[in-house]
């Protein structure tokens, strides 16, 4: 007797509503250490990071302080997804920034069902 569940067939409308299959949205997470001296330098870093992320048509949610920061990044389009290229671009931007060290990037994951 098999312990696997039979695959449930869902309508296109329901798959879309539940962000499943062809409507799945993918994003990635990252973390890094920061060398900000004060809150003002953290604010400047955050402004630069947000400008970079928004220029790629992405959005992020996360937080941190003057010493560390972590976030989840996904597309700013309703059914859009982040890509491997977005991960690489974000990694490159972070590693080139003078205040950032110890960058750790995650893989693409389903943003709604992880």
List pLDDT tens digits, range 34-52: 999 999 999 999 999 999 9
C-alpha of 73 from chain center: 2
In a domain, 98, yes or no: yes
**Beta strands of 1-114 (E only): which ranges?**
26-34, 58-64, 68-75, 100-105, 109-110
pLDDT tens for 59-112 read 999 999 999 999 999 999 988 999 999 999 999 999 999 999 999 999 999 988
Number of compact structural domains in the chain = 1
What pLDDT is attached to residue 85?
97
In a domain, 3, yes or no: no
Distance (Å, whole) CA 48 – CA 41: 11
- Provide the residue range defining the domain that includes 36: 24-110
In a domain, 89, yes or no: yes
In a domain, 16, yes or no: no
In a domain, 15, yes or no: no
Q: What is the CATH number of the domain that holds 74?
A: 3.30.70.100
In a domain, 7, yes or no: no
In a domain, 34, yes or no: yes
């Amino acid at each position: 007797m098999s312990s696997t569940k039979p695959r449930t067939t869902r309508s296109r409308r329901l798959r879309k509503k539940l962000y499943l299959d062809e409507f799945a949205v993918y994003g990635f997470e990252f973390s890094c250490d920061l060398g900000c001296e004060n809150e003002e330098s953290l604010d400047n870093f955050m402004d630069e990071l947000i400008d970079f992320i928004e220029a790629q048509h992405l959005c992020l949610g996360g937080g941190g302080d003057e010493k560390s920061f972590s976030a989840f990044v996904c597309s700013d389009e309703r059914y859009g997804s982040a890509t491997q290229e977005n991960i690489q671009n974000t990694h490159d931007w972070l590693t080139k920034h003078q205040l950032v060290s110890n960058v750790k990037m995650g893989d693409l994951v389903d943003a709604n069902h992880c």
